Structure 1
Amino acid sequence: MPWNEIFLLGRRKSKQPCEPGASGAGEQHTLQDTRAAIEELSQAVRNNPESVEIYLALGNLYRSQGEIERAIHIRNSLIARPGIDPALKARSQFELGRDFRRGGMLDRSRQAFEEASVVLGRTEEIELELARLAADSGEFERAAEHYGRMGRALAQAHFLARQAGEHFRLGDAVLGDKFLKQALTVFPASPEAWLASVVQATVSGNIELLRVSLKNACANIPAPQRFLLLEGLLEALSAARVDNGGGTGAKALEPSRISELVQASVQVLSTFPPDTLLCYYCAKLCLFEADLESAKHWLEKSLVLNADFWLARLELVSLVLTDQDLTHFLRDQMAYFISHARKSKRFVCQACGFRWDRTFFVCPRCRSWHSILFRQEFS
């Protein structure tokens, strides 16, 4: 029986009826499916011990279940088998590299992938695995090289920007600028690279550089992704208020310099055609400096553009709450509601629906690049 049919047989055998409404029923079905497939493949191996493909499939199932030692044992037994076809041996080494990576053995994983590439060549599969290994090891420049060989400019720019950030953190602005230029040459719309440029200008207190970087960033980054830049700008301004700048090695900036940075940012953003998020972040910048009247103005503009933008409405309610003649009890209830509503996850992956309260460039669930959106409408 072909091994792919064994998978289907395993799924059919595992479908037992479950109690309606039982907790975790979907997860239980998945576990049963995998275990049934493992049993069928194990039986197929006993019946046909020479079938390398079945061994590979069984090892993959063990890895998916987290049984790394069993998966590694299967790969090693195949690699040591005398007379095995070189291509199948290389495929076993490739899967062994994946096993090692899943088990956290990064050096051994890289070695296995390199050995597989001797026969298989530098395929995109191998380049991708090596790129992920380099990224996991903090070798961002090497990761960028691997993505560059695959022609993935977006990911290449991402890791060049991260390498630039490392140099900025260590105080080497020359090397940091060099890697940023490389990133923007590879992918001019890279929000990661522009963000690194804006953050560096902010924590160093360079107002003119911030103006230029922020203007060029907003001109090059697609409007739906600008919030990634502006979220980072607010974080950098917060970091500039304390010594060591959130790990950047920078000293705290004078309050007057921070005010100038905020004013410069709002002035630059005001030159672009208004959109809902741009107005919202202008309001957030004004709130950063406790400029409540300007913040109200920008929040109202944001709601004119999108009356259903829940977060702008929430901030506006919070601002006008102090002007209302409310009982102490009602004021406390409103404050409680607002504080908890602010904790709602603002960011969502448009590819898989994953929600998070922090920005991300790669979805933690489905690994999609730049799939993040700001949830403007509350649901």
Structure 2
Amino acid sequence: MAWKIFSRKKNTGYEENVKAAREAGGGELLPAQDTRAAIEELSQVVKNDPEAVEIYLALGNLYRSQGEIERAIQIRNSLIVRPGLDRKFKARALFELGRDFRRGGFLDRAEKAFEDASSSGYDSAPIQSEMARLAAERGGYEKAADAYGKLGLPLPQANNLVRLAKEYFSEGKESQAHRSLRHAIRAYPGAIEAWLEQLIQAYKAGNTRRLGDILKDALSKVAPELRFVLLEGLVQEMNRAEKSISQPLADHTEWERAAPDKDVATVVASTLEGQEPDVLLLYYGAVFFLRVGKREEAKDWLEKALVLQPGFWLARLELFELSKVDQTLTPFFKEQLDFFMGHARNVRRFYCRRCGLKRDQIFFNCPRCRSWHSIAYRTDFSQ
């Protein structure tokens, strides 16, 4: 268990205990039960040795990871006001206080704490990273992108440039938006969010030729394990358009020039045919065929996907659905089958390769562990 790594005796393996406490405190992935137990154990260590500042800081990190922000803040403040505290420990306590405030949503206080940590001599790189994140959370995407660029972190730089582009699009500033997207791709050529936004804008403009060109370029630049995000994102956007148009009182302005599904399916399938065989590309090709009623083409692509990966459950599900029309089913059996098929389609298809978080919507930055581009597709139901 996590709490057994800590010793009550400072003179036996003390440095190892401090290191273990620091590592446990910095993580966000401990199960809740283990984290709670570690908190209790660390509290006892601190109680027995109040000068173990490293362990005290780790205790605060554990409180923060549990969402107990007030207790984490109390620990930092008790250190900061401690007489004779070494300057480097005070600087670190201020830095962690800033992270506590940011986690609690007190962004102004977080900025002040980071500034104080900087004045106390704390390492500038992590402070700059936190300030960049603060800027992004406040909607200052241009400032955040610039900060991440200076830190040599092109992926979050590109992500914030895409968010800036979306803001420009919403304000009708299309030239600035497209410029921001191009800048994002120059900063990080594998930025799936930037390529996806370009695809969406081409779709909304009704420019299927450009959509095909962008998709072809994107498939060559994006990491192979992430290419499905481009197609899933486009499908989700088309679903949004379909849902909006089906509502008589909704504002359809956004979709007035959107490309017809038939044209999109044709250009997507044509582009995917030029790629090396890939189970997810074949699956999504079938998805686009199904949108426009091309059942035989969809069946063919699904069968090819299962040749590459026989255990791909969702491809089998769609093939089973296509075969229903050839079967004689009683009304009761058909009702039960439709019920289970509907639930199976709602299974969360995406997960984070790092922490295992499951989602039914695509993401670029994991909501739990904050890792970038860690999304994966659950081709195996056990994933």
What TM-score range do you get, normalising by the shorter chain? 0.7 to 0.9
How far has the Cα of 1:109 moved from its partner?
Answer: 0.1
Q: What SS does the corresponding residue of 2:351 show, helix, strand or coil?
A: strand
Q: Secondary structure at the match of 2:49?
A: helix
1:23-172 equivalent positions in 2, closer than 5 A: 27-45=32-50, 53=54, 56-80=57-81, 84-120=85-121, 123-172=124-173
Offset of residue 61 of structure 1: 4.5
User: Partner of 2:381 in structure 1?
Assistant: 378
Query: What are the superposed Cα offsets for residues 35-83 of structure 1, whole Å, 9 maximum, x if unpaired?
Result: 23213313433xx5xx755654454444444443343344345444566
1:290-301 matches, cutoff 5 A: 290-301=293-304
Amino acid of the structure 1 residue aligned with 2:339: Y
Amino acid at match of 2:42: A
TM-score, length basis structure 2: 0.83
1:321 aligns with 2:324: yes
Q: Are the aligned partners of 2:286 and 2:298 in contact in 1 as well (CA < 8 Å)?
A: yes
Cα distance in structure 2, aligned partners of 1:58 and 1:178: 46
Consecutive unaligned residues in structure 1, runs of 5 or more: 12-25
Tell me: CA distance 1:210–1:54, structure 2 relative to 1, closer, same or farther (3 Å). closer
Report the residue type matching 1:290 in the other structure.
Answer: G
After alignment, is 97-106 or 243-252 more displaced? Answer: 243-252
Mapped to 2, the partners of 1:326 and 1:249 lie a distance apart of 40
Contact 1:94 1:112 in 2 (8 A): yes
1:163-204 deviation line (CA, Å, top 9, x unaligned): 212222332211111111111111111111101110111122
Which letter does structure 2 place at the counterpart of 1:369?
A: W
Residues in 2 aligned to 1:110 and 1:205: alpha-carbon distance in whole angstroms: 44
Q: Write the letter of the residue equivalent to 1:34.
A: I
Q: Secondary structure of 1:320's partner? A: helix
Please say which of residues 311-320 and 254-263 is displaced more in the overlay: 254-263
In the other structure, the counterpart of 1:17 is: none
Residues 62, 206 of structure 1: alpha-carbon distance in 2 compared, 3 angstrom cutoff: same
Structure 2 unaligned regions, length at least 5: 1-8, 21-30
Q: 1:76 to 1:228 in 2, by over 3 A?
A: same
Secondary structure class of the residue paired with 1:251: helix
Q: Distance in 2 between the 1:61 and 1:348 partners?
A: 25
For 2:296, the aligned partner's letter is E
Q: Deviations over 1:122-167 (max 9, x none)?
A: 6332122222222322222222223222212222212212221222
C-alpha distance 154-245 of structure 1, shift in aligned 2 (>3 A): farther
After TM superposition, list the pairs within 5 Å mapping 1:1-379 onto structure 2: 2=10, 5=14, 27-45=32-50, 53=54, 56-80=57-81, 84-120=85-121, 123-241=124-242, 250-253=253-256, 257-379=260-382
- Specify the SS of the correspondent of 1:373: strand
Q: What's 2:3 paired with?
A: none
- TM-score, normalising length: structure 1: 0.83
C-alpha deviation, 1:84, in angstroms: 4.8
CA contact (8 A) 1:143 1:156 kept: yes
2-structure distance, mates of 1:301, 1:330: 29
Return the alpha-carbon distance in structure 2 between the equivalents of residues 222 and 188 of structure 1: 10
CA-based RMSD of the aligned residues comes to 3.1
Aligned residues: 360
Deviation at 1:105, TM superposition (A): 0.3
In 1: Cα distance, 2:180 partner to 2:258 partner: 31
1 CA distance for matches of 2:97 and 2:252? 41
Could you tell me which amino acid in structure 2 is paired with residue 322 of structure 1?
A: V
Change (3 A) 1:306 1:74: closer
Go from structure 1 to structure 2 and tell me whether the alpha carbon gap of 1:218 and 1:6 turns closer, same or farther (over 3 Å shift): closer
- SS in structure 2 of the partner of residue 307 of structure 1: coil
Q: Secondary structure at the match of 1:241?
A: helix
Counterpart-to-counterpart distance in 2, 1:166 and 1:43 = 53
When residues 365 and 7 of structure 1 are mapped into structure 2, their CA distance, relative to the original with a 3 A threshold, is farther
Give the superposition deviation at 1:216: 1.0
* 8 Å Cα contact 1:167-1:175 kept in structure 2: yes
8 Å Cα contact 2:207/2:259 also seen in 1: no
Q: Any idea what SS the aligned residue of 2:319 has?
A: helix
Q: Whose RCO is larger (CA < 8 A, sep 6+)?
A: 2
